Amino acid sequence: MADAHSESTKPTLSLDDLRERIDQLDSKLVELLNDRAKLVVEVGKYKRGTGVPIYAPHREQAVLQKVLDASRGPLPASAIEAIWRELMSGSFALELPLRIGYLGPAGSFSHQAASKQFGSSVSFEDLRDIRAVFNEVARGHCNYGLVPIENSIGGGIVETLDAFLDVGREIEIYAEVQIAIHHNLLANCEPKDVKRIHSKPEVFAQCRHWLGAQYPGAELIAAASSARAVQTAKAEEMLEPGRGSAAIGSHLAGQLYGVNLLFETIEDDPNNITRFFVISKEAAQPSGDDKTSMMFTTQDKPGALVEVLQVYERAGINLTHIDKRPSGRENWTYTFFVDAVGHREEKKIIDAITEIKTHCKDVTVLGSYPRSKRIL
Ligand SMILES: C=C(O[C@@H]1C=C(C(=O)O)C=C[C@H]1O)C(=O)O
């Protein structure tokens, strides 16, 4: 079958005619987009009048699924999804401007996740640590916050779990976002001149083989974040041209700070994914395919954890994630974090939570949210 790039199919119209057709379609498209936007403005009035949350991840999943199912190509699904995400971002601006907090500085992977999820029509606030993201959402300064919960290579993010321990009762997990983490070598010198490379120690570990093969003699310098590393590489090369300063960071950081992309996707395992939670003060509605996150502290007796896990087993509830942290109250007592498939309004989850409470010192439901189906 001929594809979009096939040489054998000759265009049926002249270039001018093709562009004329594109212009005609564009004017129809812009009219349709604005018709859609007028409906969104009405939805906004309804929401402001009733207190229904502006950002509705369950509805966004349904909208995306409908357009992806309706698309017959040749635009790839990823392009359709990116267009609709930006369209829905524009909707926020019409309904109520949203402020999204993330772990900064700008150009961090949290920033990348936030811009992929919320598009460019919202305002972003880069915060100094994960705890600040929780605080700004809890005090209503940010409508939503984005926090990393787990990386497929590095495991659970301790700062996020500890923040849930402290303020988990004041906020709700509202949505789940997964992004592919790709590392890139960025520098404003020639590839052959790179001598010093800045980044986070975890990032060096994830690119160890590539660095060993390409830059065995380079000095690796630890930075607090990969975005900060890109800023430093830029500043060093400006102050002292020829020093050979580079950084490993995101595309976005390179664009934001004006540092060139020398090599992309340099991580040893390209299947590197970070899962984030969108946190909010509101609870998300069921989408039909949801997860519920909860934390519980078991009683100090033999088999306490097994008893809890058996409740899930008997109820036929699938657990997709389990983690633990010291409870912070008494030495050697632990708080467990689990993600279970199902919404907290479903009877099987309600019954399981009721039973788990009889085996635990305390149980907190951190939120139910649509299960993320795509890696952004
Ligand atoms: C328009 C709405 O608000 C937002 C924008 C959406 C859209 O543009 O389709 C979908 C869900 C919401 O996040 C809605 O809730 O329907």
pLDDT in tens, 284-335: 999 999 999 999 999 888 888 999 999 999 999 999 999 999 988 788 888 9
Question: pLDDT tier at 5 (50, 70, 90 boundaries)?
Answer: low
Average pLDDT, the chain: 93
Is the pLDDT confidence value at 1 over 50? no
Q: Is 56 in the pocket of ligand 1 (CB under 6 A)?
A: yes
* Choice among 48-57, 137-146, 277-286, 340-349 with the minimum mean pLDDT: 48-57
Residue 246 scores a pLDDT above 50: yes
- Closest ligand 1 atom to residue 59 Cα is 11
Q: Which residue has the higher pLDDT, 172 or 4?
A: 172
Residue of 118, 125, 160 whose CA lies nearest to 140: 125
- Reported residue count of the chain is 376
Q: Does ipTM exceed 0.90?
A: yes
In 16-165 the beta strands, taken as DSSP E runs, fall at 99-103, 123-127, 144-151, 155-156
CA of 307: how far to CAs of 154, 189, 291, 303, 313, in Å?
Answer: 29, 59, 21, 6, 10
Q: Contact 191/246 with Cβ under 8 angstroms?
A: no
Which is the closest atom of ligand 1 to the Cα of 55? 13
CATH class (in words) of the domain with range 99-181+273-280: alpha beta
Task: For residue range 60-116, list pLDDT tens digits in order.
Answer: 999 999 999 999 999 999 999 999 999 999 999 899 999 999 998 999 999 999 999
The H or E element that residue 352 is part of is helix 347-357
Q: Which of 50, 88, 122 to mutate to test the pocket of ligand 1 (most atoms within 8 A of CB)?
A: 88
pLDDT of res. 329: 77
C-alpha to C-alpha distances, 371 to 23, 178, 263, 368, nearest whole angstrom: 39, 10, 33, 9
What's the whole-model pTM score?
A: 0.89
CB of residue 61 inside a 6 A radius of ligand 1: no
Q: Which two tokens stand for residue 7?
A: 């040489």
Among the listed residues 371, 314, 312, the one whose alpha carbon sits nearest the alpha carbon of residue 336: 312
pLDDT confidence of residue 4: 54
Residue 59 near ligand 1, beta carbon < 6 Å: yes
Question: Ligand 1 atom 6: the closest Cα is on which residue?
Answer: 88
Q: What is the DSSP letter of 218?
A: P
Given this model, what pLDDT does residue 332 score?
A: 81
The CATH number of 184-263 is 3.40.190.10
Q: Among 8-12, 172-176, 213-217, which is the least confidently predicted range?
A: 8-12
Q: Which atom of ligand 1 is nearest to the CA of 88?
A: 8
Residue extent(s) of CATH 3.40.190.10 domains in the chain = 99-181+273-280, 184-263
Instruction: Assess whether the C-beta atom of 63 lies below 6 angstroms from ligand 1.
Output: yes
Angle, helix 77-95 to helix 15-50, in steps of 10 degrees:
40
Place of tokens 């899962």: 275
**CB of 62 closer than 6 angstroms to any ligand 1 atom:** no
Q: CATH for 290-370, among 3.30.70.260, 1.25.40.80, 3.10.580.10, 1.10.3720.10? A: 3.30.70.260
Comma-separated ranges of CATH 3.30.70.260 domains in the chain: 290-370
- Block residue for tokens 């999804």: 81
Task: Find the helix or strand (DSSP H, E) in which 248 lies.
Answer: strand 245-249
Question: Which ligand 1 atom is the nearest neighbour of the CA of 52?
Answer: 15
How would residue 163 be classed by pLDDT, with cut points 50, 70 and 90? Answer: very high
Is residue 67 lining ligand 1, measured as CB closer than 6 Å? no
| pLDDT for residue 8 | 59
| pLDDT computed for residue 375 by the predictor | 87
Judge whether residue 186 has pLDDT over 90: yes
Q: Measure the CA–CA gap between 129 and 180, rounded to whole angstroms.
A: 22
Reported as a single tens digit per residue, the pLDDT across 220-234 is: 999 988 999 999 999
Q: Residue 210: which of 272, 267, 269, 271 has the closest Cα?
A: 267
Confidence of residue 253 (pLDDT cuts 50, 70, 90): very high
C-beta of 43 in contact with ligand 1 (< 6 A):
yes
Compare 356 and 153 and report the one with higher pLDDT.
Answer: 356
CB of 143 shorter than 6 A to ligand 1: no
- The verdict on the CB of residue 90 being under 6 Å from ligand 1 is no
pLDDT the model gives residue 7: 55
Q: Are 61 and 354 in contact (CB under 8 A)?
A: no
| Most informative mutation of 32, 41, 91, 96 for ligand 1 (most atoms within 8 A of CB) | 91
Task: Look up the CATH number of domain 30-94.
Answer: 1.20.59.10
Which residue, judged by its Cα, is nearest atom 9 of ligand 1?
A: 88
Q: What pLDDT, on a 0 to 100 scale, did the predictor assign at position 2?
A: 43
Query: Cα–Cα distance between 276 and 110 in angstroms, integer?
Result: 8
- Give whole-number Cα distances, 144 to 87, 101, 163, 171, 253, in Å: 19, 6, 15, 10, 22
> With pLDDT > 90 as the criterion, what percentage of the chain qualifies?
83
The pLDDT score that the predictor gives to residue 3 is: 53
Q: Residue 294: which H helix or E strand, with range? A: strand 290-298
Q: Coil, helix or strand for 290? A: strand
Report, as an integer, the average pLDDT of 178-187.
Answer: 95
d(CA 283, CA 305): 28
pLDDT at 120 over 50: yes
Helix axes 304-315, 347-357, angle to 10 degrees: 160
